[in-house]
Amino acid sequence: MRGFLLNRLSQSLVLLLIVSVIGFVVLNLIPGGPLAQFGLDPSMTQDDLNRLKEQLGLNRPLWMQYLDWAWRLVQGDWGHSFRDGAPVLDVIGRHLVATLLLMGSSTVIAIAVGTWIGIRGATHRYSVFDYLATVGAMVALSIPTFWFGLVGIYVFSLRLGWLPAGNMYTIGDGSVLNHIHHLIMPSIVLALVHVAIWSRYMRTATLDVISQEFVKTARAKGLSERRILMKHVVGNALLPMITLAGMQLPSVLTGALVTETVFTWPGMGRLFLDSLGYSDYPVVMGLLMFSAILVVLCNLIADIVVAIIDPRIRLS
Amino acid sequence: MTKDSTTKSGYSRRDALRLMAAGGIACFAAPNLLGKPAFADTANPTGRVVVGLSQEPTVFHPLMAHIEVDDAVHFSLFDALFRIDPKGVLQPNLAAEVPTQQNGGISEDGLKWRVRLRDDVRWHDGEPFTAEDVKFTLELITNPNFRAWRTGGHSLVRDITVVSPTELTWRMEEAFAPYLSFLTETFMVPKHILEKEADPNAAAFNQAPVGTGAFKWAQRVAGDHLELVANPQYFGDGPYIERLVFKYIPDMTVLYTQFKSGDIDLTDQAYITADHYEEAKTLPGRVVTLVSGASVESIYLNLEKPQFKDPAVRKALYAAMDRKAIIDAIYYGVGTLTETFMPRTSYYYNPNLPAQEFNLDRARQILDEAGWVPGPDGIRAKDGVRLSFANSTTSGNNLREQVQQFLQQTFAEIGVEMTISNLPAAVMFGEFWLKSQFDSAIAGVTHLIAADPDATNRLATSAIAAKGGKGSNVGQYSNPEVDALLKKGAQTFDPEARREIYSRIQEIVREDLPFLPLFAATYVVGRKEGLEGWEPNSNTRTASWHAAGWRWQS
Amino acid sequence: MTAIVANSRQERWWNSRTAHRFMNHHLALLGMVMIAILTLACVLGPYVLPYDSLYIDLRARFAPPFTGHHYMGTDPLGRDLAARLFMAGRVSLLVGFSAMLLSTLIGTLVGVLAGYRGGWIGTTLMRTVDGFLSFPSIFLVLALAAALKPSPMMITVVIAATSWMEVARIVEAEVRSLREREFVQAGRMLGLSGTHIMFREILPNAVGPIIVAATLTVARAILMEAYISFLGYGIQPPLPSWGNMLNGAQQYLGTAPWLAIIPGAAITIAVTSFNFIGDGLRDALDVRGDHS
């Protein structure tokens, strides 16, 4: 077990290294740079811009900037935002809650609805419900998220006036109800794709379990269909989903980014786009590393959990 | 060097600044800006105003490099020595009076400055504001380790001497008239807090600023909004509202929707989009005002490109621009025709420039006469140079992209090929713009700094960054006569004399057409009915320049 | 996104049973038909319609659908939306298809190399694949799109550069499992070159999963293009694409909703069709796994 852990851990570190290098290089490939935001300000002369460039350490060779950044990161210093000068972790922390709220609520929706559709589809295989669910899932995977959001805004905000077109809450009204009111549309939009994915996985997983011997035995023993499902199917099927959850994370983050853009949600996706727009390298790199670490952690935990439950996996 | 010209115009007349001020006062009253004795405690501030912004203010240290949107916050939290009112007149703010050559605040050669301060100002934490703070502020800006915003003007200041807590003097390395205007955007920061900080760039102050302004820092929810509260001890008039909230709404449609629904009381930049103007006007309980801005939407030409070196080409392109159709159709009539870079509201605006006329035949004729002959593909050429160029603007800016495509079609009719090559703002305004790597670009360009007419940074030969210059003359415009006039203007303190100089510059620039003006920026500012005391001021970069005077009708 | 573990098969993928199963997959057929119609409309549409997709007429702006001969209305510059939609379809479909070809090529090369060689080459390549996969893909796409001059070619390259990883994973897994099989061992003993074994002996056996992944990549690429262009980083005007037609549509959502609804519907139809086809192919070719 220890060897397995060390192996996985070292692989994860290599992965983070690769992510940071790719991110840093790609980010610096973008022309413009952090000073472009002053490009239209007639009072910022070339001298001023050169001075800022030097103060921000941007006139050094790229490899030196990278090593400096990476060395600080290893020591726990994520750097400071170019924009507001605050420590990167603070900046991320300030936007984390909004994103967690959005991702959390949409994940709850996705898992609840997806699991239900999946199991029902599997137990009522080839029924009309199953067929519709399959088609629906495929269509859901095909709708551009941002467009779905736009249509939602058009219908529910502009036409019907039921739901707000954006923001997390109304200024001066921090009530839970107000938050929920603002949360409905973005979390459904974000959940759509994941309902589709979860339901498909759940269906396959349930089918796998149903066909196994012990379920047949249980059924033969006269246990009710419902109890069999609850006890064996769901329990067993949820296992591979832990792995899925880890791998879903980047796409959930991407989805959150798109959704936050459309609904002006003050979360990490918004922060990411803004920071990219201002070439706020420390924050963008911070967000990349943050999400990469999350992904790696999820995968690691999933690996470990699976390995504990099913020791054969360790060998492969 | 040009000392005789400075002195000649410097003191031979009445102080025209004063003259302008007198004219202004008759129809404009800004009690707190005129240095009236404080009656702050008489008002019991009530209510809350929510201001909508489409970019997020993130820089709260007013001297650090920041962008327009941060101004909205700085103007409410801090004070400067002087402020500029909507008429373009300087008013004392922290200073007891605006120094002039008349009142002896500025020496006749423009080199020695003396500023007297108010004695009744306190920082938000209760400490008194003194000349030491001013000295600290001016020195911080030129501190090489400090990530300062503009250093122009400030870098000329020498020997700052605190004479008394309410008086200080300094010497200028050379006479520089625009400095007076620059000081209206130089907000004073507290020495007693910042001097203790090892790194001024990462001071705690930057996240929780302390000023002298009408509002105090309350809290910030990053990515969403920030909140200021009334400073009851404010030395000037106001504030009348208790809470001032700046709400960040990155999407213009949502910004408008929230204004419509009443979540936002005032739309600051980037204001209401032109296509919503008609509808906004009819909204019950909302007041919509057209405000002229300082920037000019124009086609910037890179004059070093062979296509644009010939003035005939620039004239022909200008004649081929159906500016009226663009304003009326694409911008819904929001936008004012202009022939110059000088904002209409400026004292230095020259109204007598020849008006452009849309005439495709004339455009063709100009090109024919200049020897640009259509080739087999219908595109004109001369001496091996094809009249074809790329036009760039910020991608995703829908209205500008529409203008581009409209112009592309009309330019094709006179045998000119314009291709479109847009870039994200963050890319476009980097080296591509600053180092003149574009052919032509559509942008809203401001030529003035702090409303001073000095456009040296945009128009002087010495300001071509692509050729190692110091400024942002990205069109690479170069005209020796303009250079000389700009130099003279920057060293002249008398507004009337300056007006002559800048009028002439505008004439030459109109003739040379280094850029093709589309229209003068006009903003649609919406506010809730009952919000009183709001006033536009195109000499500042924000609609929230004077929140101290806002109040809710009771 | 997941490694698809395919059942290795000795029989050729185009045998009649496979074709039969595909034809029996109703959704896949529906997808084929829709793509055929869409392609035909995009190819022929611009010739049939009375308006040019680029012709600007400011007097006719914001005409709602079914105004005169503007069956889908007009855009903010008075251009016919139907003409633009079909013109845009050419661009979007072409970009989607080319991106698929390119990314499948890259993915296959990397996958075969990593799977056949194994060892440190394989590990490095696959860790790089993992690295790319742990980014929110939108970051790479936006950053690359901002870094490069936008043109249909560049957008294709950008999308391909960020969507080759799945194919690589699939192929790598497939090749790794095939590597030790008898026919490969035999080839090795016969002294065939590595390249020959990789591409002539092993690869044909992995064709099934590659085709499935490729179909799904088309769908993904169309979505990608739409999103990049929607944000303004993609295909540049006046050339229309489904994505850049949506750019700015948000602004007119209240007054001219058809500007947003029509191109979005076109994207959804195209992407759904490709997903249907991919699903049908997966069933027909008996490839296990899921797309996401």
Residue A212 corresponds to which amino acid? Q
The per-residue pLDDT for A313 is 52
- Give chains near A: 3+ CB pairs under 8 A: B, C
Counting one residue from chain A and one from chain B, the pairs whose CB atoms sit within 8 A come to: 176
**Helices vs strands, H then E, count in chain B:** 18, 20
Q: Check which CATH number belongs to the domain holding B44 and give it.
A: 3.90.76.10
Using CB atoms within 10 A of its CB, is residue A74 exposed (0-12), middle (13-18) or buried (19+)?
Answer: exposed
Counting one residue from chain B and one from chain C, the pairs whose CB atoms sit within 8 A come to: 63
The per-residue pLDDT for B23 is 34
Q: For an interface test with B, which of C59, C233, C253 has the most B Cβ atoms less than 10 Å from its Cβ?
A: C233
Of C79, C62, C60, nearest to B405 by C-alpha is C79
**Residue corresponding to tokens 């009142």:** B103
The per-residue pLDDT for B516 is 96
The per-residue pLDDT for B2 is 36
Count up the domains in chain B and report the number.
2
According to DSSP, the β-strands at B48-53 and B266-267 are parallel
Domain containing residue A202: 91-273
Ranges of residues in chain B with a pLDDT under 70 are: 1-43
Contact between B281 and B260 (Cβ < 8 Å): no
Considering only CB atoms, A154 lies closest to which of C147, C223, C257, namely C257
In a domain? residue A154: yes
Residues of B in contact with A85 (CB under 8 A): 59, 61, 64, 201-202, 206-207
The Cα B277–Cα B331 span in angstroms is: 9
Q: For an interface test with C, which of B254, B398, B417, B422 has the most C Cβ atoms less than 10 Å from its Cβ?
A: B398
Domain containing residue B348: 294-522
The Cα B161–Cα B131 span in angstroms is: 9
User: Is residue B434 within 8 angstroms of chain A, CB to CB?
Assistant: yes
In a domain? residue A117: yes
pLDDT band, residue C248 (cuts 50/70/90): confident
Residues of C in contact with B251 (CB under 8 A): 250
> Is C248's CB within 8 Å of B398's CB?
yes
Q: Which residue has the higher pLDDT, B76 or C234?
A: B76
For residue B515, the SS3 value is strand
**A238-247, B1-10, B413-422, C205-214: least confident range:** B1-10
Among residues B188, B212, B236, which one ends one of the domains?
B212
In a domain? residue B321: yes
| Nearest CA distance, C241 vs chain A (angstrom) | 14
Q: Which residue has the higher pLDDT, B309 or C67?
A: B309
Please give the share of chain C, as a percent, with pLDDT higher than 90. Answer: 23
User: Is residue C149 within 8 angstroms of chain A, CB to CB?
Assistant: no
The Cα B537–Cα B543 span in angstroms is: 7
Nearest residue in B to C248, CA atom: B398
User: Is residue B222 within 8 angstroms of chain A, CB to CB?
Assistant: yes
Nearest residue in B to C239, CA atom: B420
Residues of C in contact with A247 (CB under 8 A): 1-2
User: Is residue B102 within 8 angstroms of chain C, CB to CB?
Assistant: no
In a domain? residue B238: no
The per-residue pLDDT for B19 is 40
Residues of A in contact with C242 (CB under 8 A): none
Count up the domains in chain A and report the number.
1
Mean pLDDT, residues A11-36: 86
Q: For an interface test with A, which of B49, B55, B58 has the most A Cβ atoms less than 10 Å from its Cβ?
A: B58
pLDDT band, residue C27 (cuts 50/70/90): confident
Mean pLDDT, residues C205-226: 88
Measured at the CA of B58, the angle between CA C143 and CA A85, to 5 degrees, comes to 80
Contact between C268 and C115 (Cβ < 8 Å): no
User: In this structure, how many other beta carbons lie within 10 angstroms of the beta carbon of residue B539?
Assistant: 26
The per-residue pLDDT for C287 is 67
Considering only CB atoms, C58 lies closest to which of B251, B253, B329, namely B329
Contact between C108 and C172 (Cβ < 8 Å): no
DSSP per residue over C127-163, as a string? HHHHHHHTS-HHHHHHHHHHHS---HHHHHHHHHHTT
Phi, psi of B551 (to 5 degrees): -155, 155
> Is B396's CB within 8 Å of C149's CB?
no
Greatest distance between any 2 Cα atoms in chain B? 79
pLDDT band, residue A237 (cuts 50/70/90): low
DSSP per residue over B295-332, as a string? EEEEEEE-TTSHHHHSHHHHHHHHHT--HHHIIIIIST
- Is the pTM higher than 0.80? The answer reads yes
In a domain? residue A245: yes
pLDDT in tens, A43-90: 888 888 889 989 888 889 999 999 999 999 999 999 999 888 889 999
Contact between B455 and B504 (Cβ < 8 Å): no
How far, CA to CA in Å, does A129 sit from each of A134, A135, B86, B433, B506? Answer: 9, 10, 67, 58, 74
Do residue B312 and residue B421 come from a single domain? yes
Domain ranges, ordered by start, for chain C: 25-34+81-286
> Is C268's CB within 8 Å of A143's CB?
yes
According to DSSP, the β-strands at B286-301 and B515-528 are antiparallel
Mean pLDDT, residues C47-60: 82
Q: Check which CATH number belongs to the domain holding B302 and give it.
A: 3.10.105.10
Of A98, A270, A309, nearest to A187 by C-alpha is A98
Burial B375-407 (b: 16+ CB within 10 A, else e): eeeeebbbeeebbbbbbbbbbbbbbbbbbbbbb
Please give the share of chain C, as a percent, with pLDDT higher than 70. Answer: 91
Residues of B in contact with C255 (CB under 8 A): 275
Residues of B in contact with C149 (CB under 8 A): 421
In a domain? residue B285: no
| Nearest CA distance, A30 vs chain B (angstrom) | 7
Considering only CB atoms, A52 lies closest to which of B147, B251, B470, namely B147
The Cα B58–Cα B39 span in angstroms is: 32
The per-residue pLDDT for B39 is 46
Do residue B183 and residue B305 come from a single domain? no
The per-residue pLDDT for C194 is 78
Q: Check which CATH number belongs to the domain holding A103 and give it.
A: 1.10.3720.10
* Fold topology of C25-34+81-286: MetI-like fold (1.10.3720)
> Is C146's CB within 8 Å of B426's CB?
yes
User: Is residue C146 within 8 angstroms of chain A, CB to CB?
Assistant: yes
Nearest residue in B to C244, CA atom: B396
Q: A8: which DSSP letter?
A: H
The per-residue pLDDT for A64 is 92
| Nearest CA distance, C136 vs chain A (angstrom) | 5
> Is C268's CB within 8 Å of A135's CB?
no
